[in-house]
Structure 1
Amino acid sequence: MTEAVEKLLETLDLERIEENLFRGTSPDQSWQRVFGGQVIAQALVAAQRTVPADRFCHSLHSYFMRPGDPATPIIYDVDRIRDGGSFTTRRVVAIQHGHAIFSLSASFQKDEEGLDHQATMPDVPGPDEVPHGEDLNETILKRAPEAVRRYWERPRPIEFRPISFDHYLTTDKLEPVQRVWVRCPGEIGDDRALNAAVLAYLSDMTLLDTSLFAHGLSVFDKRIQAASLDHAMWFHRPVRVSDWLLYAQDSPSSSGARGLTRGSLYSADGILTASVAQEGLIRPRRGA
């Protein structure tokens, strides 16, 4: 297990400071703001720790209200809204410097039998068939802007293997579709709550970029102010984030300085494990 994965697991292991209060910290304080996926995952963990072990998150809906300060602990206040016969509902507010920076509502359910169908996974090259490692550095990243190279070369707890890097190498307007293989490069076991939290963490990555493809831009473009505004997620089936997952994304609309992106997370054998939707700020900077 890499050091980055160990740090991620430590970050998700929140400190309980009262019955419904938890404290989390940020592993990387070199960023200007806390990574949104971290706050989603920590808030989900806080909710999970107030729910019976036989109930699992099937959906979450969240809003980002203020940028998080990575140098300051985040307090997660859990409201036990309802404990029903089959479903449990929780609301979590993340607080820093006396202000709410994020809120999350999550619903949990006991496993039940029922009707079953799913969309078909897109037909794409496998994770070992796309550029990665030294091959990626030699064939693609050396032609990419410096900010892109720095981002892809830094250690992280999630491994990404995009099917295409075209949007980093051109200013052409491209179809707003992205396919990325993702996994946690460390064996974290089969614990469903932990796997769901790590999946929530990685689900915030690459979405904003997809909404910019149609405009010949990326989140690294200094002409754009980009930030997540909200994030929704539905957990359909158990998942193992230590195995490869295909993150298939598309952006059906951008308007009003906002871009909407949808995502589907498939296991390598084609099982749809989760769906995601996010609207993000993609505001052109004045004078840019």
Structure 2
Amino acid sequence: MSATVLVPDLADRLQLRAAGPGRWRNLHGDANQNGRAYGGQLLGQAMRALLLDMPAGRAPTMMQFLFLQGAMPEQPIVFEVTRLQEGKRFSARHVRGTQGERTVLDAHATCAAAMEGPSHRLGSAAPPGEQPAILPTLDDIPAATREALARMGGYGRGCDAAIDFRIPEMERQLDPRRAGPQLRYWLKAPQPLGDDPAVQIAAFAYLSDWWLNACMLLPHLGEAGERAMYISSLNHALWLHAPLRADDWLHVQTACVHSAGGRGLAVAQYHDADGRHVASATQDCLMAFAGR
């Protein structure tokens, strides 16, 4: 498996190989800026594994995920899927990821048959007429802000080749004097992923980890020159509300609802370009001064 060569196609990064009944092995590893496997890789590949075991006609509704130990990007991960429920409306699965004797992730997920019910939403879509394709990228972040972000958990050093990422209102959102515990952005896979819903959802899980916890750090950018910050995802939860395409633009509104005691909690809402609320996510993170 290749750990250091960039694989631009996100669909390739999500590929798994059968390794026995209910078991799959990943083929690619993506390193994050701490030298461990990128969390989105684990999320996307775990989602791909569990969907390979789901019956037809049942769409994913939820995944709750624990990052247990740092996964090594140069080593393969074996995903073992266990059936927990096969009901009239819902199917549930447990996924465990291991590298040798080390358990690096643990997840539960459900899929459901189509059902009718009341509908409403509470959320914030993008401003009307905003065009993500012409918005700034990470390459457009001013050097001083980039340096501050790099000290605050390693942000700002570059973008993943498998993610097209854009930041609206960059000057205001990333200004250390005005930044608050919120951030909105757009993202998508840069290459077409095809029409397989399982690939689209697995790719969305991959994307969902990108900059989700940045909202925890933004209020503290002004402190970046004083004490460096270490941030690491502890758990991640996804709720899928409607069919989505990860290769079309998704608007993401994030907020850190609480940070104290070395941990922070981020909440995200995902809307497609038509304003449909397609998914939500939460992430609990270690957020501590470096050296502690």
The interval holding the TM-score normalised by the smaller chain is 0.7 to 0.9
- In structure 2, the CA distance between the partners of 1:259 and 1:155, relative to structure 1 (3 Å rule), is closer
2:83 to 80, 83, 94: 80
1:151 to 157, 174, 182: 157
In structure 2, C-alpha distance between the alignment counterparts of 1:150 and 1:274, rounded to whole Å? 25
Per-residue deviation, 1:130? 2.5
**What is the match of residue 175 of structure 1?**
180
Query: Aligned-pair RMSD on alpha carbons?
Result: 2.7
Per-residue deviation, 1:164? 3.7
**What is the match of residue 25 of structure 2?**
23
In structure 2, C-alpha distance between the alignment counterparts of 1:201 and 1:174, rounded to whole Å? 26
In structure 1, C-alpha distance between the alignment counterparts of 2:225 and 2:106, rounded to whole Å? 27
TM-score of the aligned structures, taking structure 1 as reference length: 0.87
- In structure 2, the CA distance between the partners of 1:140 and 1:50, relative to structure 1 (3 Å rule), is closer
In structure 1, C-alpha distance between the alignment counterparts of 2:267 and 2:226, rounded to whole Å? 22
**2:111 paired with 1:105:** no
Give unmatched runs, 5+ long, in structure 1: none
* Alignment length (residue pairs): 279
1:56 to 56, 59, 64: 59
**What is the match of residue 238 of structure 1?**
243
- In structure 2, the CA distance between the partners of 1:218 and 1:238, relative to structure 1 (3 Å rule), is farther
Letter in 1 for 2:228: R
In structure 2, C-alpha distance between the alignment counterparts of 1:220 and 1:58, rounded to whole Å? 42
2:13 to 8, 11, 14: 11
**What is the match of residue 36 of structure 2?**
33
- In structure 2, the CA distance between the partners of 1:181 and 1:168, relative to structure 1 (3 Å rule), is closer
**What is the match of residue 206 of structure 2?**
201
In structure 1, C-alpha distance between the alignment counterparts of 2:141 and 2:31, rounded to whole Å? 29
TM-score of the aligned structures, taking structure 2 as reference length: 0.86
**What is the match of residue 184 of structure 1?**
189
Letter in 1 for 2:206: Y
Q: Deviations over 1:80-130 (max 9, x none)?
A: 111111110000010013121110100011122221111243443331453
Per-residue deviation, 1:176? 0.8
Q: Deviations over 1:47-72 (max 9, x none)?
A: 11111121111001011110000111
Per-residue deviation, 1:44? 1.1
> Greater shift after overlay, 31-40 or 100-109?
31-40
